[in-house]
Structure 1
Amino acid sequence: MYVPMNLLHFLDRAVTVYGEKCAVIDYEEGRTFTYKELATRVNQLSHGLRSLGVQKGDKVAYLAPNTVEMLEGFYGIFQLGATMVPLNIRLKPEDYVFILNHSESKVLFVDQDMLTLIEPIKHQLETVETIIVHYGDDTSNEISYDKWLNSFPENQFERAPIDEFDVCSLLYTSGTTGNPKGVMLTHRSNYLHALSAMHHLRVHDDDIYLHVLPMFHVNGWGSPFYYTANGATHICLRRATPAKIFDAIYKHKATAVHMAPTVLNSLLQLHDEKKPETGENVRVVIAGSAPPPAFIRRVEDELGWTFIQVYGMTETSPLTLTSASRSTEEHLTEEKKVRLKAKAGYPMIGSDVRVVDESGNEVPHDGHSLGEIVVYGHGVMKGYWKNKEETEEAIQNGWLHTGDMGTIDEFGHIDITDRKKDIIISGGENISSIEVEGVLYEHPSILEAAVIAVPHEKWGETPHAYIVLRDGHTLTEEEVITFSRSKLAHFKAVTSITFIDELPKTASGKIQKVQLRNEYWEANPTTTGRFVN
């Protein structure tokens, strides 16, 4: 018998098998809910949305940090067959105008702390009929969520019929060179991604998962689905400062946490300074630029955590590669194992990931030959919402072209060398900005580094580094250049430096090199050369 894959099955299982278990801990407010209580709130939310006229296929947007209200929103929306539109909390009001109008969102839930981002643009919202405020009070003219929610019945909601190919989440990518694109992910893609992720990330029913990674970022990498399916406990942390992350891990005995490398780097810095309690048996899952091996050693030796590197993108639901150690690698030296962990990894179940040349042929598995990473599998998006041209450009013959460049070694581990647009071409040689950054991170005085291409009269382009120093440390430009030349072939070494207090980042912690490139060109308007946004 055919049964469509439906993300609501995960909550149903948790209620049936783990009904009286703690499902959610609200770190700031101290509230806790069992899975039965969570399901009751989800039913009330669905009844409330129906009263507002939300129907199957409608879009419901959320502008919220990692809260209980955000978590229950996924399932409350899904029961109507509607689509969740999570909004990046670090955008500008004009960005929300485009996304809310383009997505045709009908209802908007917004956290009280972020209401000021919406109030100036309400008159520009073409399809939003109702705004409801989380943690709202009588000072706002909008509907207060708690009062609204509690006015609806707790009984089981009569769900809309759901096909597994129905779009359940519409996720807008950061529009670095134009308007953001809406990625359509289906119940099927998220469901199968969850099954694969829970295996590779070693999710169990005794897990206590701390939400540091924003839930709006590709559905929190799907964590609201696979941790719920296993009856794990969620800790909702609305303000993820390093001190609060350590405290939440220790206080609530968290066993798993997902985050960007920059966030983990800030934890290591705080640990160096104050030595907070780090908890036990913690798995930390990282995605983004692969860190240098020395970084991984610090995480595992100093914090005592298990490090897992993953790779993915919004268009693939998102995770497709993992670097978790395999039994076939047990014979390798510890140094080699750490180096493999620092790579993006090998394909997860359900994903066929390859590195191909410009003709579409796989590059040799030699760890040196460069190609573009392409993905084929159940996690690949249905397409970009209302953007057929971009969809056809991204997905060719069923393969998603990621725009990431990489190599693949004899063990089948893929290493991300750079985005296509971030490759530095110096004297006809390709330089990976990620490789140069990895070397800079080895310097004890450097907290963060980002490398971009800048014009050079003789070589066309050379690497320029933006550097954030550790507190209390000093470095000169010449010292950084000398250090990089001691570690790299000289043509790869940085030739100029900009010291900066803070690197610009996306809401998920990724460094925004486009902004750095723009700032460089604004400061050096007479320079000429190849430049790609």
Structure 2
Amino acid sequence: MTSTDPIVGSPNGAGPANALPAPAEPTIADALAAIARRSPASPAVGRRGERLRTYAELHERTDRLANAFTAAGLRPGAPVGAWMEDCPEYLEVYLAAAKAGLVVVPVNARFTAEEARYALDRGDVQALVFTDGTAPKVEEAAADRPLRLTLTPGTERVAGAAAYQDVLAAAAATRAAAAVPGDAPYIMAFTSGTTGFPKAAVLTHRSVMTVCRSQVAATRLPAYGVRAHTNSMSFTSSVSAHLLPTLFTGGASVLMGTGWHVDDLLDVVERYRATHTTIPSPFVRDLVEHLGGAPDRLGSLQSILHAGSKVDGSLLQQLGELAGARFVEGWGMTENSGGLVCSTSALDVLGASPIGSAVFDTVGRPVPGVEVEVVGADGAPLPHDGESVGELLVRSPSLVAGYWRDEAATAKAFRDGWYHSGDLGSIDAHGYVRVVDRRADLIVSGGMNIYPAEVERVLRTHPAVAECAVVAGPHERWGQTPVAVVVVRPGVSLTQDEVIAHCRAHLAGYKKPTSVLFVEQLPRNSSDKIARERLRQIVAAAAG
């Protein structure tokens, strides 16, 4: 009996005696090398306000770093931890790992030492690169871990770290291209951990390259453009679905870093002639307000993507009216290698959608090559009528290989080629997808389903509400009841009765909150998502 080679797919990898060898699948490292050859002087990446490194510099520096990793004894498949704040060196770690066949384990810069230790141990990290902002926690997090190499581009040389620039200077400046199998692990992306310890999704070289191609269409990326990069690089999708696709198209990325405001973003657009960016949910209203007075400040922008936590459709419509065909709404996930599975089109935003302005309450339609289906609790497909709500399933060539060393979680989430997202939603007859809520966040009160997002949408229309979240609280008769957790805007007052009355005016009686908790801020996890499990604990404690 012959075996089948998993890469070339023929018995033992052998073909006809006179056949040419099958070409290796291209990786992002090959894309970098090609761009550096044809456009060596083109800008590639840098912080705002600083000179951008060219593609020639980026290619040489990542060759040197890959050689340093190899010289330290790291072999293909070895995990490299990156516990870093946003900086060009962070992207260099990703690219050097691709060249050396290593696996990047990004560790969120906001993690505590305990959280980071879990990621380092779970990923079996053999080398670590960190920056000054995470340095105070490194020794505790990496204690007793045998690391072959520890580097920092900063000044805090803790845990025996070598200076990043010194290591690069000592390494060879060129490196022979290596064939890396397309299904080899490339990135170990830890999920948000909203329900417990985070799982590590395994992105492959093939899935990342597929995302690079699909993001060009999904987010309407221009070739050789300039990205104003607003997302934290601690989030895997920030790199795999935004920085790497920009590199794939020969573009430049300007890192906004932390602490920026909408004015800063628009200044970067003007100074660098940025062509595309992403607007995080907390900044959507600010951007709308800024553009209301100066719509011409969008200037060179060709694409403004919003994806992530929900924003009211009415607010997105305002942004769409101001930004025009530039605006893109989408839905993606780590399990799709960070990339979008659905997005709106330019015609949608320009008023040509067959569902009119209701398109702003959707995440658009599936990206070419991606399938989205909706199923009931029994797993049977539901009609595409825009009303039937069930779990949304995704089939995509960009899906991750599974969860690292977690066969049970992999088998539960990935079945028969479909990823079971855990998101509840509907699909209409035109293929538009509406994401209603997370299945785990559904509130069942007296047998009635209540979607927190629906109640939150109404709460956010109250002028005194700055932020809000709705979770299930215990109820002696109904089992569960919706409880609103509210952050009030500065300088105004708001009472529980006013909140409940506002909801009663806009929602069926069983959906309105029965109690309200006022807090200074909502708890969030390391991905800046609302930590609903923590909120449920707070609500349960308040209920006694």
Q: Same fold (TM over 0.5)?
A: yes
1:26 to 47, 59, 64: 47
CA distance in 2, matches of 1:509, 1:338: 29
- CA drift at 1:371: 0.8
Say whether the 8 Å CA contact 2:386–2:426 is kept in structure 1: yes
2:437 to 400, 418, 421: 418
The gaps in structure 2 that reach 5 residues or longer are: 1-21
- Choose 165-174 or 345-354, whichever is displaced more: 345-354
CA distance in 2, matches of 1:138, 1:326: 49
- CA drift at 1:18: 2.7
Q: What SS does structure 1 have at the residue aligned with 2:436?
A: strand
- CA drift at 1:203: 0.8
Q: Are 2:214 and 1:193 aligned?
A: no
Q: What SS does structure 1 have at the residue aligned with 2:484?
A: strand
- CA drift at 1:327: 4.9
String of CA shifts for 1:450-491, please: whole Å, max 9, x gaps: 111112334332221122233333322222211122122222
Say whether the 8 Å CA contact 1:45–1:149 is kept in structure 2: yes
- CA drift at 1:206: 4.3
1:84 to 104, 123, 126: 104
- Matched with 2:201 is 183
- Matched with 1:489 is 508
TM-score by length of 1: 0.90
- Matched with 2:175 is 157
- Matched with 2:122 is 102
Q: What SS does structure 2 have at the residue aligned with 1:225?
A: helix
Q: Are 2:309 and 1:289 aligned?
A: yes
Say whether the 8 Å CA contact 2:327–2:349 is kept in structure 1: no
Which letter maps to 1:517? R
Q: Rate the CA distance shift 1:484–1:17 in 2: closer, same or farther, 3 A.
A: farther
1:442 to 461, 471, 480: 461
Say whether the 8 Å CA contact 1:280–1:304 is kept in structure 2: no
Which letter maps to 1:166? A
Say whether the 8 Å CA contact 2:363–2:432 is kept in structure 1: yes
Say whether the 8 Å CA contact 1:309–1:342 is kept in structure 2: no
- CA drift at 1:31: 2.9
Say whether the 8 Å CA contact 1:310–1:319 is kept in structure 2: no
Which letter maps to 2:220? R
Q: Are 2:224 and 1:203 aligned?
A: no
Matches within 5 A, 1:104-183: 104-125=124-145, 127-136=146-155, 141-154=160-173, 156-183=174-201
Matches within 5 A, 1:21-100: 21-27=42-48, 30-100=50-120
- Choose 475-484 or 103-112, whichever is displaced more: 475-484
Q: Are 2:456 and 1:456 aligned?
A: no
Q: Rate the CA distance shift 1:297–1:277 in 2: closer, same or farther, 3 A.
A: same
String of CA shifts for 1:252-271, please: whole Å, max 9, x gaps: 332222243134346557x4
- Matched with 2:276 is 256
Q: What SS does structure 1 have at the residue aligned with 2:201?
A: strand
- CA drift at 1:330: 7.1
Say whether the 8 Å CA contact 2:46–2:52 is kept in structure 1: yes
CA distance in 1, matches of 2:369, 2:245: 16
Q: Are 2:391 and 1:372 aligned?
A: yes
Say whether the 8 Å CA contact 2:348–2:359 is kept in structure 1: no
Say whether the 8 Å CA contact 1:164–1:186 is kept in structure 2: yes
- State the superposition RMSD in angstroms: 2.6
Number of aligned residues:
520
- CA drift at 1:430: 0.8
- CA drift at 1:177: 3.3
CA distance in 1, matches of 2:291, 2:541: 37
Say whether the 8 Å CA contact 1:320–1:351 is kept in structure 2: no
Which letter maps to 2:235? H
- Matched with 1:528 is none
Matches within 5 A, 1:395-414: 395-414=414-433
Q: Rate the CA distance shift 1:261–1:64 in 2: closer, same or farther, 3 A.
A: same
TM-score by length of 2: 0.89
Q: What SS does structure 1 have at the residue aligned with 2:126?
A: strand
String of CA shifts for 1:419-443, please: whole Å, max 9, x gaps: 1111111221111111111122222
Which letter maps to 2:522? L
2:493 to 453, 456, 474: 474
Say whether the 8 Å CA contact 1:356–1:362 is kept in structure 2: yes
- Matched with 1:217 is 235
Q: Rate the CA distance shift 1:138–1:111 in 2: closer, same or farther, 3 A.
A: closer
CA distance in 2, matches of 1:447, 1:268: 16
- Matched with 2:4 is none
Say whether the 8 Å CA contact 1:262–1:509 is kept in structure 2: no
The gaps in structure 1 that reach 5 residues or longer are: 526-533
- Choose 103-112 or 259-268, whichever is displaced more: 259-268
- Matched with 1:529 is none
- Choose 240-249 or 460-469, whichever is displaced more: 240-249
Which letter maps to 2:271? K
- Matched with 1:360 is 379
Which letter maps to 2:455? V
Matches within 5 A, 1:251-400: 251-265=271-285, 267=287, 271=290, 278-282=297-301, 283-301=303-321, 306-325=326-345, 327=347, 336-400=355-419
Say whether the 8 Å CA contact 2:44–2:251 is kept in structure 1: yes
- CA drift at 1:4: 1.4
- CA drift at 1:376: 1.5
Which letter maps to 1:27? R
CA distance in 1, matches of 2:102, 2:158: 30
- Choose 417-426 or 487-496, whichever is displaced more: 487-496
Q: Rate the CA distance shift 1:371–1:137 in 2: closer, same or farther, 3 A.
A: closer
- CA drift at 1:120: 2.1
Q: What SS does structure 2 have at the residue aligned with 1:123?
A: coil
- Choose 358-367 or 458-467, whichever is displaced more: 458-467
- Highest RCO, 1 vs 2 (Cα 8 Å, sep ≥ 6): 1
CA distance in 2, matches of 1:439, 1:409: 23
